[in-house]
Amino acid sequence: MDELMTTNDRVQYIVIKVGGEQYGIDIKYIDNIVRMQHITRVPKVQSYLKGVINLRGEVIPVMSIRGKMGYEEVENTKDTRIIIIKLEQHGTVGVIVDEVKEVVTLSEDDVEHFTYDAKQEEKNMYLQGVGKYNEQLISLLELNAVLSEKDL
């Protein structure tokens, strides 16, 4: 029972790097992490949608988190990864990130959730809160907002 309690308020996050900043994605939404591969461009779609890839026989759409969050697009490096995310609302979607660093476990006490007012600010739109880990700050992504449709 004790163990159950601890797992309940401790959440594992995968820490990724985008434009020098650290972001955390709740591990329960992550299906897979794959290396950069050939992306087939799809015409006439939002600019942050990069196209589709073949993931073991399935066609999966891929988006750039840089494009979506307003960072400048950069050339892919050897560290570039596609994180395959499964969300009920959007299905399976690949998200391109600069680098995948590590997996951290944060307890509820380490996380400061944003209030509704804080979310109104542009830079906080895609975040659910900030986590503290070993003196570092990790912005925790609100995936539904990250994946939601936005005309650019």
Partner 1 sequence: MDVSQYLEIFLDESKEHLQNLNTQILELEKDSENMDTINEIFRAAHSLKGMAGTMGYKRMQNLTHDMENVFSEVRNNNIKVNSEIIDVVFQCLDALDEYISNIQSSADEGENENTAIIERLNAILNGKSGGGEAPKEEAAAAEEAPKAEAPEAAAKAPSVNLKLAEEQVHVLSEAMKQGKKIYFFDVKVQDSCILKAARAFLVFKAVEELGEIAVSDPSAQDIEDERFDTNFTLVIISDADLDKIQTAITSVSEIEKAEGKLLSEADLTGGTAEAAEAEAEAPAEEAPKETKSAATTAPAPAKAAAPAKDEKKAGKPVVNRTVRVDIEKLDVLMNLVSELIIAKNSLVSAAGQDHSQTSSFNEQIEYLESVTTNLHESVMKVRMVPIESVVNKFPRMIRDLSKKLDKKMELYMSGEETELDRTVVDEIGDPLMHLLRNSADHGLESAEVRKQRGKPEVGSIFLDAYQDGNNVVIEVRDDGNGIDVEAVKNKAIERGTITVEQAATMSDKEIIDLLFLPSFSTAKQITDVSGRGVGLDVVKSKIESLSGEVEVKSKLGEGSTWTIRLPLTLAIIQALMVCIGDEKYAISLGSIQTIEDVKASEIKYVQAKEVINLRGVVIPLIRLSEVLDAPTNKTKDDDMVVVIVKKGDKLAGLVVDELIGQQEIVIKSLGKYINKCKVISGATILGDGEVALIVDANACF
Chain residues that interact with partner 1, rule: CB under 8 A: 38, 40-46, 49, 51-54, 57-61, 63, 90-93, 147
Cα–Cα separations (whole angstroms), residue 76 to 35, 120, 130, 143: 11, 31, 27, 22
From the CB of 65, what's the least distance to partner 1, in Å?
14
47 vs 107, which CB is nearer to partner 1?
47
From the CB of 11, what's the least distance to partner 1, in Å?
25
- 40 DSSP 8-state letter: B
51 vs 145, which CB is nearer to partner 1?
51
Is residue 93 within 8 Å of residue 147, measured between CB atoms? Answer: yes
What CA–CA distance (Å, rounded) separates 145 from 131? 18
User: What 3-state DSSP class applies to 57?
Assistant: coil
From the CB of 21, what's the least distance to partner 1, in Å?
25
From the CB of 74, what's the least distance to partner 1, in Å?
21
From the CB of 93, what's the least distance to partner 1, in Å?
5
Buried b (16+ CB within 10 A) or exposed e, 5-27: eeeeeebebbbbebeeebbbbbe
56 vs 117, which CB is nearer to partner 1?
56
Determine how many CB atoms are found less than 10 A away from the CB of residue 150.
Answer: 12
61 vs 67, which CB is nearer to partner 1?
61
67 vs 129, which CB is nearer to partner 1?
67
